[in-house]
């Protein structure tokens, strides 16, 4: 194989970080999307804006804020370390947290759009047939929004693979622990004679990104086909 | 059996202010032009709309009462609602759609009853299908079945035929007639078609701009001389409940008996004793002061003029009593003056043609 063991390590770590990031953010994204879809309440625009912050803030700033909150001296970080023994800094879990947070809006947007397509009509019908709110969410909204949920997850996954600024700021660049593909490319470029390695990793990243976009496009088309019925 | 609705709701510059009672089983039609408030009323009964003031009682259960602060949630109202656009769940098979409400019912209908509904609506061969490929008529049948299988206390049908073309309507009608004959619950049918109403309903509530303008039995309301005022259309003509008395294959004629007379019609493929509804259009009834002879019309009914109304500049509508049965005749005002028609006069009504539908107006055996 044309990848060296450290490169393999970076690839597998990237996949692990992105998978955990998307999976852990998804329940929160579902909750946020359900809250924002089909409903108006005071403060909705504010919540919507806050949820979109990771999209507009510089990733380095997000990483810095995470460091403030989840660092060993940060309020949340010290509490988690003391009571649950969980440490995010200098750990791949921290990389997953940063990537999950940065790509959270992608998930919320895709899921929310899919949920809004379900519409009030079908929910009213389900309600007159005896289905309560949770029942309607699980048996109607979720399955009908599934293509949107999948599309959001794929987009978020692809974006997570490329996350650089927040990860390097929050959990540093430790080979085998927090050095994901973009960080490995960065390191290779910093090393004399590392251009070939950087090129290989870059090609790999491009391939993964294209694959992710194709999958997202396919899921999106499925969602539209369902919505058009 | 009774359903008691009294609702006041204002949105924009439209005010819905209605009160009516349904004492009898069978089909009650909410009739009126679009914008009259028909759908708002059944939305309020289903709980999808919460009127600002009102009280809704269905079969002795208070579903809604603003004065007493009662509002049962839609899911607990046990109201079967067939929406105009069917609203089948697109990610479920026909069978899962049918069983959606059934599975959630407080008391699930026993399996033989489920099979009966499936047979009644001829859904057996659709069960495994997805809903996307269904025709409009098939969707309407699945929606009907889904509502029925939830074991509702009352069934609401919001223009179940409106989205269908004439051929599909005729395809669905027999199912609605079967439903009317078999369902032991009150059915509220929203409609803007008097054809639909006259074929299906026993009772009719006429709405206009958010108010009830008249209500009563279909026979009384349709033979009301003021009906054109309520509907804004020419008189529909009376509907008579009749039974098949005789089928004569030699002459090619069937005889229908109704309280106060008999009608002869081209031979029907109907059993003796079967109940029918006969629609007699006002335009198809001519009047004569003397009994006519040498005339091609098969039906000449002796009748008493029970009401007159100069409905338009050119036409007069005459209400006739054939015994206890009322029919309408539309003639020109000129003819009306020439014959010097007055209430109480004896005349002969010459009925040129009639339209026939099945009915179930006899005593019910529940």
Residue B366 has what pLDDT? 34
Those of residues 38-57 in B touching chain A at CB distance below 8 A are 46-48
- Residue of chain A minimizing CA distance to B42: A128
**Residue of chain A nearest B45, judged by CA positions:** A128
**Average pLDDT of chain B, as a whole number:** 89
Q: How many residues does chain A have?
A: 229
Residues 6+ away with beta carbon under 8 Å from A202: A185
CB contact under 8 A, B104 and A135: yes
How many CB atoms sit inside 10 A of residue A214's CB? 12
Dihedral angle sign, alpha carbons of residues A103, A109, A111, A114: negative
pLDDT category, A224, cuts 50, 70, 90? low
- Give A 181-220 residues with CB within 8 A of chain B: none
Whether B133 contacts chain A with CB within 8 A? no
Comparing alpha-carbon positions, the chain B residue that sits nearest to A130 is B75
Confidence of residue A208 (pLDDT cuts 50, 70, 90): confident
Q: Does B99 touch chain A (CB under 8 A)?
A: no
pLDDT tens, position by position, A141-188? 999 888 889 889 998 999 999 999 999 999 989 888 999 999 999 999
* Chain B interface includes A224 (CB < 8 A): no
Predicted-complex ipTM score: 0.82
Q: B79 CB near a chain A CB, below 8 Å?
A: yes
pLDDT at A52 over 60: yes
The rounded Cα A50 to chain-centroid distance in angstroms is 16
Q: What is the dihedral of CA B266, B267, B273, B278, to 10 degrees?
A: -30
CA atoms within 13 Å, Cβ hemisphere of B268: 24
CB A163 within 8 A of CB A59: yes
Is the Cβ pair B104, A229 closer than 8 Å? no
Percentage helix, strand, coil for chain B under 3-state DSSP, each rounded to 5: 25, 35, 40
Per-residue pLDDT of A100-135, as tens digits, reads 999 999 999 999 998 988 888 899 999 999 999 999
Cα–Cα distance, B284 to B296 (Å, whole number):
14
Asked if A127 reaches chain B (Cβ–Cβ under 8 Å), the answer is yes
B261-303 residue pLDDT tens:
999 999 988 889 888 899 999 999 999 999 998 898 889 999 9
| CB atoms inside a 10 Å sphere around CB B340 | 8
CA B168 vs CA A105, B135, B143, B160: distances in Å: 47, 9, 15, 11
Q: Where are the beta strands (DSSP E) in B74-136?
A: 79-82
> According to the model, what pLDDT value does residue B23 have?
82
Length of chain B measured in residues = 366
What is d(CA B357, CA B241) in angstroms, rounded to the nearest whole number? 10
Which DSSP string corresponds to A24-54? HHHHHHHHHHHHHTT---TTHHHHHHHHHHH
Q: What is the reported pLDDT for B362?
A: 55
Paired with A9 in beta bridges are: none
Contact list in A for residue B76 (CB cut-off 8 A) is: 130
Is the pTM higher than 0.80? yes
| Mean of per-residue pLDDT scores for chain A | 89
B328 DSSP β-pair partners: B319
DSSP lists the bridge partners of residue B6 as B19, B55
Left if phi > 0, otherwise alpha if psi is -120 to 50, otherwise beta: which for A213? alpha
Q: What is the DSSP string of B194-242?
A: HHHHHHH-SEEEEEETTEEEEEEEHHHHHT-TTHHHHHSSS---EEEEE
Alpha carbons B237 and B274: distance in angstroms, whole number: 22
* Per-residue pLDDT tens digits of chain B, which is 366 residues long: 688 999 999 988 899 999 999 887 789 999 988 888 899 999 999 999 999 999 999 988 999 999 999 999 999 999 999 998 889 999 899 999 999 999 999 888 899 989 999 988 889 999 999 898 898 889 999 999 999 999 999 999 998 887 777 777 777 888 888 888 887 889 999 998 888 888 889 899 999 989 999 999 999 999 999 888 888 777 788 999 999 999 999 999 999 999 989 999 999 888 898 888 999 999 999 999 999 988 988 899 999 999 999 888 899 999 999 999 999 999 999 999 999 999 999 999 999 888 887 776 654 333
Chain B hits for A143, Cβ within 8 Å: 91
At residue B358, the pLDDT reads 74
* CB contacts, 8 Å: B48 with chain A: 124, 127-128
Across the interface, whether the CB atoms of B75 and A144 are under 8 A apart is answered no
The reply to whether A228 touches chain B by the CB within 8 Å rule is: no
């Amino acid at each position: 194989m044309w990848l060296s063991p450290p490169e393999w390590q970076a690839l597998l770590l990237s996949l692990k970080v992105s998978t955990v990031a998307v999976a852990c953010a998804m329940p929160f994204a579902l909750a946020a999307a359900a809250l924002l879809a089909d409903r108006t309440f005071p403060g909705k625009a504010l919540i919507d804006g806050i949820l979109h912050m990771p999209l507009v803030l510089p990733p380095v700033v997000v990483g810095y804020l995470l460091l403030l909150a989840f660092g060993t001296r940060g309020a949340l970080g010290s509490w988690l370390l003391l009571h649950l023994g969980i440490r995010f800094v200098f750990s791949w879990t921290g990389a997953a947290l940063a990537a999950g947070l940065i790509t959270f809006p992608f998930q919320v947007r895709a899921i929310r759009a899919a949920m809004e397509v379900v519409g009030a009509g079908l929910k009213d019908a389900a309600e007159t047939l005896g289905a309560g709110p949770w029942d309607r969410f699980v048996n109607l909204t979720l399955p009908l929004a599934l293509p949107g949920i999948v599309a959001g997850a794929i987009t978020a996954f692809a974006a997570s693979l490329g996350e650089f600024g927040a990860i390097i700021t929050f959990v540093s660049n430790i080979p085998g622990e927090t050095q994901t593909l973009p960080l490995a490319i960065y390191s290779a470029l910093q090393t004399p004679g590392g251009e070939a390695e950087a090129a290989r990793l870059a090609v790999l990243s491009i391939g993964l990104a294209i694959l992710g976009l194709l999958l997202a496009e396919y899921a999106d088309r499925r969602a539209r086909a369902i919505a058009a019925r | 059996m009774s359903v008691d609705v009294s609702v006041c709701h204002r949105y924009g510059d439209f005010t819905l202010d209605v009160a009516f009672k349904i004492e009898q089983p069978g089909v009650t039609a909410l009739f009126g032009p679009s914008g009259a408030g028909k759908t708002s009323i059944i939305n309020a009964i289903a709980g999808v709309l919460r009127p600002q003031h009102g009280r809704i009682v269905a079969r002795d259960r208070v579903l809604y009462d603003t004065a007493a602060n009662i509002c049962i949630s839609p899911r607990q109202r046990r109201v079967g609602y067939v929406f105009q656009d069917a609203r089948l769940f697109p990610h479920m098979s026909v069978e899962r759609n049918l069983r959606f409400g059934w599975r959630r019912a407080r008391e699930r209908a026993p399996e033989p009853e489920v099979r009966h509904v499936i047979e009644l609506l001829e859904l057996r061969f659709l069960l495994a299908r997805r809903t996307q490929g269904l025709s409009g008529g098939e969707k309407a049948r699945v929606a009907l079945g889904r509502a029925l299988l939830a074991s509702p206390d009352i069934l609401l049908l919001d223009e179940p035929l409106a989205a269908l073309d004439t051929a599909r309507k005729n395809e669905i009608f027999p199912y609605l007639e079967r439903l009317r004959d078999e369902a032991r619950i009150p059915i509220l049918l929203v409609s803007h078609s008097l054809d639909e109403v006259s074929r299906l309903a026993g009772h009719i509530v006429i709405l206009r701009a958010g108010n009830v303008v008249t209500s009563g039995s279909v026979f009384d309301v349709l033979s009301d001389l003021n009906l054109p005022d309520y509907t804004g259309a020419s008189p529909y003509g009376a509907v008579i409940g009749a039974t098949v008395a005789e089928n004569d294959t030699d002459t090619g004629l069937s005889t229908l008996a109704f309280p106060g007379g008999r009608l002869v019609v081209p031979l029907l493929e109907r059993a003796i004793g079967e109940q029918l509804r006969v629609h007699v259009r006002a335009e198809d009834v001519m009047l004569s002061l003397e009994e006519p002879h040498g005339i091609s019309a098969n039906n000449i009914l002796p009748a008493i003029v029970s009401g007159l109304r100069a409905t338009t500049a050119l036409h007069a509508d005459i209400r006739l009593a054939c015994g206890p049965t009322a029919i309408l005749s539309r003639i020109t005002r000129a003819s009306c003056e020439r014959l010097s028609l007055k209430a109480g006069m004896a005349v002969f009504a010459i009925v040129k043609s009639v339209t026939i539908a099945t009915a179930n107006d006899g005593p019910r055996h529940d």
